[in-house]
Structure 1
Amino acid sequence: MAMPISCSALRRTALVLALVAGGMPAFAQESADQSANQSTDQSATQIASNQPVGEVVLIPNRVIYPGETIELAALKRVTLIAGKHKPDAVATRAEDLDGKVAKRTLLPGRYIPSAAIREAWLVEQGASVQVFFIAGGLTISATAVTLQPGAAGDLVKVRNIDSGKILSGTVMADGTIQVSAS
Structure 2
Amino acid sequence: MTLALSRALALLAAALAVHSGTAAEAAQAVPVASVTIYPGDIIRDGMLTERDLPDNFPGQAVTALDRTALVGKTVRRTLLPGLPIPINAVAEPKVVSVGAMVRVVYVEGDLNIATYASALQAGGVGDTIAVRNPESGLTISGVIAKDGTVRIGTS
Question: For this structure pair, what is the TM-score category when the shorter chain's length is used for normalisation?
Answer: 0.7 to 0.9
SS across alignment from 2:27: coil
Match of 1:139 in 2: 112
C-alpha contact (below 8 Å) 1:100/1:118 kept by paired residues: yes
Match of 1:46 in 2: none
Counterpart CA distance in 1 for 2:32 and 2:75 is 13
1:84 aligned to which of 56, 76, 81: 56
C-alpha contact (below 8 Å) 1:133/1:178 kept by paired residues: yes
Counterpart CA distance in 1 for 2:108 and 2:63 is 40
Counterpart CA distance in 2 for 1:77 and 1:150 is 30
Deviation for aligned residue 1:169: 0.5
1:54-76 deviations in whole A, cap 9, x for unaligned? 21110112211111111121111
1:63 and 2:63 aligned: no
1:97-156 deviations in whole A, cap 9, x for unaligned? 001011111122221111111001111111111101111111111110111111110001
1:127 and 2:97 aligned: no
Structure 2 residue identity aligned to 1:84: N
1:150 and 2:100 aligned: no
Structure 2 residue identity aligned to 1:90: T
C-alpha contact (below 8 Å) 2:51/2:82 kept by paired residues: no
Give the structure with the higher percent strand.
2
Match of 1:110 in 2: 83
C-alpha contact (below 8 Å) 1:170/1:178 kept by paired residues: yes
Match of 1:162 in 2: 135
SS across alignment from 2:140: strand
Q: Given the two structures, how large is their TM-score scaled by the length of structure 1?
A: 0.67
Counterpart CA distance in 2 for 1:109 and 1:144 is 44
Superposition map of 1:44-59 within 5 A? 53-59=26-32
SS across alignment from 1:148: coil
Counterpart CA distance in 2 for 1:58 and 1:75 is 6
The structure having more radius of gyration, on CA atoms, is 1
C-alpha contact (below 8 Å) 1:59/1:92 kept by paired residues: no
Deviation for aligned residue 1:84: 3.5
1:100 aligned to which of 73, 83, 102: 73
Could you say what the CA RMSD is over the residues aligned between the two structures, in angstroms? Answer: 2.3
Task: Structure 2: give runs of 5+ residues left out of the alignment.
Answer: 1-10
1:36-82 deviations in whole A, cap 9, x for unaligned? xxxxxxxxxxxxxx97652111011221111111112111111224x
Q: Given the two structures, how large is their TM-score scaled by the length of structure 2?
A: 0.78
How many aligned residue pairs are there? 136
